[in-house]
A = this chain, B = another copy of it.
Amino acid sequence: MPKFKVAIVGATGYTGSELVRILINHPDIEISAITSESRKGEKFSDVHPQYRDIFEPTLVSINDISDYDLDLVFLALPHGVSMDFVKDNYERNFKIVDLSGDFRLSSRDVYESWYNKDHSYEPGFESAVFGAPELFRKRIAEAKLVANPGCFPTSAILALSPLLKEGLIEKNQITVDSKTGVTGAGIKAKPNTHFPVVNDNFTAYGVKNHRHTIEIQEIISKYADSEASVLFTPHLLPVDRGILSTCYTKPNRIVSTEDLEKIYHDYYDNEPFVRVSKDLPNLKQVRGTNYCDVFVTYDERTNTIITIGVIDNLVKGAAGQAVQNMNIMLGLEETAGLTITPLQP
């Protein structure tokens, strides 16, 4: 079988690097082009030296993309940049998986109020499918444009969706307390990612107004088919990779931990990348992989359901889920290229 041809637009960040890590071992895919405006003409391995002797193509410009015959393009671009590419290329033959936040929300208005930025391509909100395979697999299969989910939303949505599916919780009382590794802040050094600032330290950030708040809330509402309200608080861990989200919800009927575990198993046992965990999950047991490990329990004393979702923010929270979406969009085996064993420790 001839391989499908893809391009990665945006080579210099972590998601570009992770897409390569996954795709070069994918049995059905060929990377035809990989772009960078700031480093074009250089080798990919000049930007990411770990790829020396492994993957060393020359980086091209985004403007050269039209020279290639492509089946699918990954956009590993910053928020606010993807939209222009989609605008200019939506009519071309290739499908698009956009890893930025540009098409994840419901409308231009919502986008502009949470991102403080004008949006250049309103029709994309209509056509984009939110790329959470466990929730929207069928629509993804038919999509031309997939908005790959944010990292925090992925962990929270997977921890919560069985409860929403069953209509088990008060939808106006959802609290998501999340903790992320530093790669979520991107590959560029900033004052708040300086090693002595992060190491042996811990802090909350983006309290009340992090953009992933609205993404979680909208997707949950859409999936539950009724308005939900989500409080989301992210924190910065002194680790490279991984997100753990602890979610607190109130049941709207009598439940037990056993009931909940059964619901989660029924919901997820056929999913290739969600493992319902009997023990409390940790970041390293999914490191480098596309797994989301989910834990659920009921606290009778306070009448609260506690659910925990754990992912690698760069894989299931970004590049891995993007490849999973690509597999669905191209009719490939959903797990192709993604059978990676966790690097632990």
| Interface-facing stretch out of A75-83, A143-151, A226-234 | A226-234
Say how far A123's CB is from chain B's closest CB, in angstroms: 29
Tell whether, in the assembled complex, residue B244 and residue A306 are in contact, meaning their CB atoms are under 8 Å apart.
no
Tell whether, in the assembled complex, residue B306 and residue A207 are in contact, meaning their CB atoms are under 8 Å apart.
yes
State whether the Cβ of A280 lies closer than 8 Å to any Cβ in chain B: yes
In the complex with contacts A50-B342, A189-B194, A237-B240 CB distance below 8 A? no
State whether the Cβ of A127 lies closer than 8 Å to any Cβ in chain B: no
Chain B residue with the shortest CB-CB distance to A190: B189
Tell whether, in the assembled complex, residue A205 and residue B280 are in contact, meaning their CB atoms are under 8 Å apart.
yes
Q: How far is the CA of A229 from the CA of B51 in the complex (A)?
A: 36
Chain B residue with the shortest CB-CB distance to A24: B341
State whether the Cβ of A241 lies closer than 8 Å to any Cβ in chain B: yes
CB contact between A238 and one of B21, B52, B195 (< 8 Å): that residue: B195
Q: How far is the CA of A52 from the CA of B285 in the complex (A)?
A: 9
Restricting to A308-345, which residues have a CB under 8 Å from any CB of B? 308, 339, 341-345
Tell whether, in the assembled complex, residue A283 and residue B177 are in contact, meaning their CB atoms are under 8 Å apart.
no
Chain B residue with the shortest CB-CB distance to A339: B25
Q: How far is the CA of A311 from the CA of B343 in the complex (A)?
A: 15
Chain B residue with the shortest CB-CB distance to A49: B285
Chain B residue with the shortest CB-CB distance to A20: B341
Task: State how many copies of this chain the complex holds.
Answer: 4
Q: How far is the CA of A304 from the CA of B176 in the complex (A)?
A: 13
State whether the Cβ of A191 lies closer than 8 Å to any Cβ in chain B: yes
Say how far A260's CB is from chain B's closest CB, in angstroms: 13
Say how far A328's CB is from chain B's closest CB, in angstroms: 20
Given contacts A231-B306, A288-B288, 15 further A-B contacts (CB under 8 A): A21-B343, A50-B286, A182-B195, A183-B196, A188-B194, A199-B199, A200-B239, A200-B284, A202-B239, A202-B244, A204-B246, A208-B306, A231-B299, A238-B238, A288-B343
Interface residues of A (CB under 8 A from B): 14, 17, 20-21, 24-25, 48-55, 172, 175, 177, 179, 181-183, 187-191, 193-205, 207-208, 229-231, 233, 235, 237-242, 244, 246, 248, 275, 277, 279-288, 297, 299, 301-302, 304, 306, 308, 339, 341-345
Task: List 7 tightest A-B contacts by C-beta distance, closest first.
Answer: A203-B282, A196-B345, A189-B194, A50-B342, A50-B285, A231-B302, A177-B177
List, sorted by A's number, 10 A–B pairs whose CB atoms are closer than 8 Å: A188-B194, A189-B190, A195-B197, A199-B240, A202-B242, A207-B297, A208-B297, A229-B302, A235-B246, A241-B345
